[in-house]
Every structure is written in C-alpha cells, then in structure tokens.
A and B are shown apart, each in its own frame.
Chain A
C-alpha cells in the first residue's frame, strides 16, 4: 500500500470514527436534545414535570376558549392519543389556530393543567395556495395534518 493511500484511509477512518462517536454521544443525550415532549410522553412520566419544559402537539379542534379580552386562552394540546389542557396569557402567534401544531413552554400545575408562558406555532412542511387548500377541505381532505391518516401526530 502506498503511503498516500495509507494516509487517505487513515483520514477517512478517523472521520468515520469521529462521526460514530458523536452520534453515540448525541444519542445518549437524546432526552436533553428534544425541543418538546408529546402529551403521551408527559403522561407516561418521561418529561421533567417539576421544572419548566415544553409540550408539543396539535391544538384540538373546538377546544380554544378565550377570555379576558382575548389575551387569556385555554386550549387542549393533543398528539391524537393523549391530551393536555393548556392555559396561556399573552399574545399568540399568527399561525395559532385549531388543528395547528404548537409548542408551549411552561410548567404543569397540581391539577394537571399546563401553565404556559410562551406559545409557539409549528408549521408543517406543506405549502399550497389558499384555493387548493379550500378544494382539499371541500373534498374531505385535511390540510393541517402531515399524513392523511396519522397514527399519532408528531408536529
């Protein structure tokens, strides 16, 4: 083997080992790298419920109740398996609506209600003109969910 090829294999091997090592490290920190927890994970006790954390999911249709001049809002976040009630006082992002993905930051209170101090909207990877979205709606299709028939929703 020529010295040059040896060098090449050494470098490629080094980069490969480094990649595997970093992926293993990232995998070990998996729980700390997630941006939010789903209601199912939270109810299964996988979220750090004694400190501030984030819950992500869809805003359940028909669950939005506004009060206090529209600035205080109560809604339900669901991943289509489990759901969590959220209470928030503040300005909502423009994309916030029923059926939309959201990520709320805050903490759980004693009654299992999530008191959010920040609500972020999450948009799916779909882009289409309004007419097409209307057409899809008219024909029974859904525009707000990533899969036509999701088993569980990961916004």
Chain B
C-alpha cells in the first residue's frame, strides 16, 4: 500500500489503470445514454425534456463529491504532508469546476421549459453557483503562488473553508422554500422509495456511475501530468521523457 504513495510508483500504477477505467467509462456512458434516450419512457408531465436529468443530476452530484474529495485531499496534505494528496486536490479542481458549470448550464436549459425561466436566485441555484466560484477561486489562488508547497497549503485552506457550502447545497431544498424541487433520491427517506419510476431511475444510476468512473479516469490522467511537472528534475522523469522522445525520433 505505502509503495504506491511514492509519486514514481503511483505514476506507473495510474498508467496501468487508466486504459481500464477509460473503457469502463465509455461503456457505461454508451449504455446509460442508450437506456436514457431510447429505452426510458417520456415523463407524464414534462414529456421528453426531463431526459436532460441524466446529465444534470450526475453532474450536480459529482460537483459536490469532487469538492469533498478536494477538501479531503487538502486536509491530508496539510496534516500529513503527502505530496500525492496535494496533487489530487490540484488535479480535481478543473474537473469539478467543469461539472459544476455543466450542472448549472443543463439546469438552466431544463428550467426554461419546465419552470418558465432560465435562472432564479433561489437557495439551491445560488449555492451551486457559489460552488463554481469556489472552484475558480481555488484554481486562481493555486496559480498565483509559484512555490508548490505554499500553493498546496493555501489551496487546501480555501477548499476546507468552502466545504461549508456542500451541506448548504444539499439541504437548501429542505430548509428553504425554493423553486428547485426536493431530491427524488438521495435524501434519507427516499433511498428506499425514490419518486422516480424504475425504468427512468436505472439510466440515472448508470449515468451517475459513468460520471464517477469518468472523474477517476480524468483525475488519474491529470495527476500523472502533475507528477511529471513536479518531479521533472528527478532521474526517473528525465528517463521517461528521453525514452518518449526516442520513440518519436526527436532524440537521437
């Protein structure tokens, strides 16, 4: 286990995992979209427009999950000084930001036909927008500090402060009157009996797993990039770069 905590071994392990995870992601996306766009019936009220849910809901879930991963990795990096944890946090931020933006945009496109408006300043939408700004702030802060250790620490503190927003997003539809409807699944009472018909629920769950595996695939790819960048002065990275250039014929 500890063997893989060293960047060099992790680099190799991630390299072996990525093709498998990528294949699983692709298969899950194809299967989930097939079920969601062809097999699932139209909704009794919304017709076909509800199908954007199969992108919107997993993207929104992942936007929160990735933030928690980022804050958790930040905490581990702060306390135990583990470089890989810092890299995980740094590598997660752009993925989380993209999925938050995706949740906001798809939600907006869904809002127009169902609610009658693209955007309202209700508690759910506003707190999710705040999450997007937190991601952007994290990335801007890290980019502004050159020293990797100080950059990681500053980012971790920001991520940990911002983690307060996660329960607010989740419970916003419970605590306050919002235009956004309450959760169909995921809240405690609804795990047993979700208010989504099974043939609509299954594609949603498969798409959620697809987004989940997608995140791990991309985060591993990004972490490998981070490792190469941070360890670029070490012997093993020089060797990789050299052999890579040899295969491309650029390095005689």
Enumerate chain A interface residues (CB-CB to B < 8 A). 4, 7-8, 11-12, 14-15, 18-19, 22, 26, 30, 33-38, 56, 91-96, 100, 103, 118-134, 143, 146, 154
Contacts and interface: CB of A to CB of B under 8 A. Distances in A.
Contact of A129 (B114, B164, B197): B197
Given A128-B43, A129-B197, A120 B176 contact: no
A56 B177 contact: yes
B116 A26 contact: no
Contacts of A8: 75, 79
Interface string B158-191: 0011011001100000011111011110000010
A8 B80 CA distance: 9
Nearest to A36: B177
Given A4-B79, A129-B43, A35 B184 contact: no
Given A94-B113, A95-B115, 12 more contacts: A4-B79, A7-B78, A15-B160, A35-B123, A56-B177, A95-B45, A95-B46, A126-B195, A127-B46, A129-B42, A129-B44, A133-B45
A15 B160 CA distance: 7
B243 interface: no
Contact of B117 (A12, A22, A120): A120
Contact of A143 (B42, B44, B123, B177): B44
A93 B115 contact: yes
5 contacts: A35-B122, A95-B114, A118-B117, A126-B184, A127-B46
Given A34-B177, A120-B117, A125 B44 contact: no
A132 B176 contact: no
B163 A15 contact: yes
Given A7-B78, A120-B120, A129-B197, A94 B177 contact: no
A128 B161 CA distance: 40
Interface residues of B, number: 41
A121 to B, nearest CB: 6
B99 to A, nearest CB: 22
B61 interface: no
A123 B164 contact: no
A148 to B, nearest CB: 12
Contact of B164 (A15, A100, A120, A125): A15
A33 B123 contact: yes
A53 B163 CA distance: 31
Contact of A132 (B80, B120, B122, B197): B197
Contact of A123 (B79, B114, B161): B114
Contacts of A154: 177
B206 interface: no
B10 interface: no
Contacts of A128: 43-44, 196-197, 200
Contacts of A126: 184, 195-196
Nearest to A93: B116
